[in-house]
Amino acid sequence: MAMTDLLSAEDIKKAVGAFSAAESFNYKKFFEMVGLKKKSPEDVKKVFHILDKDRSGFIEEEELKFVLKGFTPEGRDLSDKETKALLAAGDKDGDGKIGAD
């Protein structure tokens, strides 16, 4: 399954473009721009599984660095600071990774 099976290619392009500058990534705005906020929990889990490159059931810090590339190959890598902020927002139990739930 491709990201564009779940989200609009145009929305993805706009969202990735909006955060192309270093240190500009805002995960709340990004997820809203790509349309994830309007998706069902099942569709959000499908997106999660696309981003979980090693299929561990979790998205670890190393995978988060490349989250924009998970939406489109043209995406940039997140900085360490951006990656840590995204991990902190999603890591509810403090284990250093984000689970699907």
Torsion of CA 55, 74, 66, 77, to 10 degrees: 170
| Count of all residues that appear for the chain in the document | 101
Annotated ligand binding at 77? The verdict is no
* 95 labelled binding-site residue: yes
11 is in an annotated binding site: no
Backbone angles phi, psi at 60, to 5 degrees: -90, 170
Residue 46's SS3 state is helix
State yes or no: 80 annotated in a binding site.
Answer: no
58 assigned binding-site residue: yes
Cβ pair 68, 78 in contact under 8 A: yes
Residues tagged in the binding site annotation for Ca(2+): 52, 54, 56, 58, 63, 91, 93, 95, 97
Annotated binding site: 52, 54, 56, 58, 63, 91, 93, 95, 97
